[in-house]
Amino acid sequence: MLVTNMHLTHLRNSSVLRQQQVETLLAHPWLNDSYDAIFLAGDFNAEINSSEIEFLLGLPTISARNAYIAGGGSLPGHTMPSRIADQPEQGRCIDFIFSLAHHPDYHPDITSARVVLETPDAAGNYPSDHCGVLIQIQLPTRDNRNPTSNY
């Protein structure tokens, strides 16, 4: 399994730059190796309907699946700011986990998904300015693996 964690630029009006950053990640040689599952995760600094996320989801050479949605995560799934319970009108979902596969049938089974780290400690401090996204997956058995599991 390959898990890639990234943090795309936070600069405003930088959709083109974020798309270039995604292209650079997808061109990495490690993605040419064989894995049972590949995940691209992190702070995309872009919402699901942004051009950079639509670019990723629309690539003809790979299948990209929003693992939070595939795992039945509750919507809206806000991850920013972490104090979302105090400021629900300001909530945004900019942190994602995407499953990448060569074919839509080759994604692992994502059995659950949820937002985590959304609760402060006793002193009122949050672990981060973002909430996290947690998924659980079921990998295929050895006998039922995709024989060409390169994404």
Does some domain include residue 20?
A: yes
Does some domain include residue 109?
A: yes
Task: Output the pLDDT for position 127.
Answer: 87
Task: Output the pLDDT for position 140.
Answer: 72
Task: Output the pLDDT for position 52.
Answer: 93
Does some domain include residue 149?
A: no
List the CATH number of the domain containing 99: 3.60.10.10
Task: Output the pLDDT for position 34.
Answer: 86
Does some domain include residue 75?
A: yes
> Which residues form the domain of 99?
2-144
Question: What is the number of domains present in the chain?
Answer: 1
Task: Output the pLDDT for position 142.
Answer: 58
Encoded tokens for 107 = 């994604």
Does some domain include residue 113?
A: yes
Write the CA distances from 46 to 36, 95, 109, 112, integer angstroms: 28, 8, 25, 23
Does some domain include residue 150?
A: no
Q: What is the mean pLDDT, run by run of 10 residues, along the chain of 151 residues?
A: 94 93 92 90 95 94 95 90 67 93 92 92 90 91 53 43
Cα dihedral: 131, 133, 150, 104 (round 10)? -130
Does some domain include residue 151?
A: no
Does some domain include residue 53?
A: yes
Give the pTM: 0.87
Task: Output the pLDDT for position 88.
Answer: 62
